[in-house]
Structure 1
């Protein structure tokens, strides 16, 4: 399975002539070498692992949960005035649960 990478709005690099001995190829190679950027090859490919694909999908904006700005402001105010309480037991339980999930020992 191949994945196409878009240029994300970046300008396209000039394409080298298709003939290996042409002066355009030599000039573009010299320009690329002089600028520190490698010359692009027509047969370059990128294959993403399943993990990379999952990370890419998770990073998409449509998968995000909306932020509750009112709750964020309440927590911010509670932190500022010192009234925010942390339940250490609950934090520890969730950390242990996450560790079990990562280790594959959690059955939940």
Structure 2
């Protein structure tokens, strides 16, 4: 037995769909296409001491002045622009190792 699928809804299915639509509308009191209001969330969240400390630190850093030495930044910019700025790879490596040692303790 074969059935042709043509994408059209049969009259019997249209009646069922219409009945379902009206029952949904009568139960909810609104049309099907209207958004449904969300219920209030009952979830709660508790922060650990570390998370609370990080939030406090973030607030402090956001409120504090940046502490940028504008004169030094301008001097480095000028040195880069005229090609006189030199990178000391040994100093960079030493500082990276110092940081690694401090973090691993």
TM-score computed with the length of structure 1 as normaliser: 0.50
1:70 maps to 71
- TM-aligned CA deviation for residue 81 of structure 1: 1.2
1:28 maps to 37
1:48 aligns with 2:57: no
1:1-108 equivalence runs, <5 A? 27-29=36-38, 41=41, 43-60=42-59, 61-63=62-64, 65-104=66-105
Q: Which has the higher contact order (CA 8 A, sep 6+)?
A: 1
Instruction: Tell me the SS of whatever aligns to 1:45.
Output: coil
Highest Rg: 1 or 2?
Answer: 2
Gaps of at least 5 residues in structure 1 are: 1-22, 30-38
RMSD of Structure 2 on Structure 1 (CA): 2.8
Instruction: Tell me the SS of whatever aligns to 2:37.
Output: helix
- TM-aligned CA deviation for residue 51 of structure 1: 4.1
Gaps of at least 5 residues in structure 2 are: 1-28, 30-34
TM-score computed with the length of structure 2 as normaliser: 0.51
> Whose helix fraction is larger, Structure 1's or Structure 2's?
2
